[in-house]
Amino acid sequence: MTNLIIDIGNTSLKAAYADGIELGQAHKYQGENVLGFIKDLTLVKRPHILIVSSVRLFDETFYISLEDVCDKLIVLNDKTRLPIKNRYSTPSTLGPDRLAAAVAASDLFPDRSCIIFDFGTALTIDFLSDKGEFLGGNISPGLRTRFKALNNYTQQLPLLENPVEVNPLGKTTREAIESGVVLGLIFEVEGYIGRYPDHIYIFTGGDAIYFAKKLKSSIFVVYNLVLMGLARIADYHAKS
């Protein structure tokens, strides 16, 4: 059975069809008509299960419309049955993308403790136990969010993008911002890696490759980790 996998993030949407847990080509959408984009995808092939993870809020009519274009709709939340255990103290406040990423990690590295670093609008650092339990994690501002914050909350600091090269010590204001932001994130990540040396480290999100190239540790970069986890959850429901 073919399922349609939808991951709606803060700034973009990713989608892919999946045959079981095998993902097809991923599509990215950054427009405003999210419902229209998803409906257009279902015109190609009606999905058995349409699974949605969204960090954005949509009204009830959005999901009612999606029910019409699939056999079964799954909106990932704290009530969704999962192939892993969720040990988060407030599951209703947990971002579904974080949970989906943990499901994917448990499939990729069974019986191993993992740390998932998702480099997006926010940097999320999530922990998966070797028993397949989501233990929780931490959230801090992502790369571009840090650049924007310095520009928004000061009068004279410019808005910058991530640099190709980073100097250890800034000799100009531009270099000082670039080095402070990028190295601050690197040191943050290295702190977790140093504290948990026996874990598997997984990088995902838009800036994953950028930071993986700047760190010397053994790191697994998985581009579509959330989509993979959603495909696994959809397959889990299809078989149960």
Percent of the chain exceeding pLDDT 90 equals 95
- Averaged pLDDT for residues 191-217: 95
pTM attached to this predicted model: 0.94
pLDDT at 1: 78
Q: Quick check: 98 and 137 in contact, CB under 8 A? A: yes
Q: Is the pLDDT of residue 50 over 90?
A: yes
CA distance 99 to 82: 9
Q: Is the pLDDT of residue 240 over 90?
A: no
pLDDT at 47: 97
Q: What is the mean pLDDT of the chain?
A: 96
Q: Quick check: 108 and 222 in contact, CB under 8 A? A: yes
pLDDT at 236: 97
Q: pLDDT of 102-152, one tens digit each?
A: 999 999 999 999 999 999 999 999 999 999 999 999 999 999 999 999 999
Just list the catalytic residues. 97
Domains of the chain from N-terminus onward: 114-225 (3.30.420.40)
pLDDT at 95: 96
pLDDT at 216: 83
pLDDT at 217: 85
Q: Is the pLDDT of residue 161 over 90?
A: yes
11 — pLDDT class (breaks 50, 70, 90): confident
Of the candidates 89, 91, 92, 117, the one whose C-alpha atom is nearest the C-alpha of residue 102 is: 117
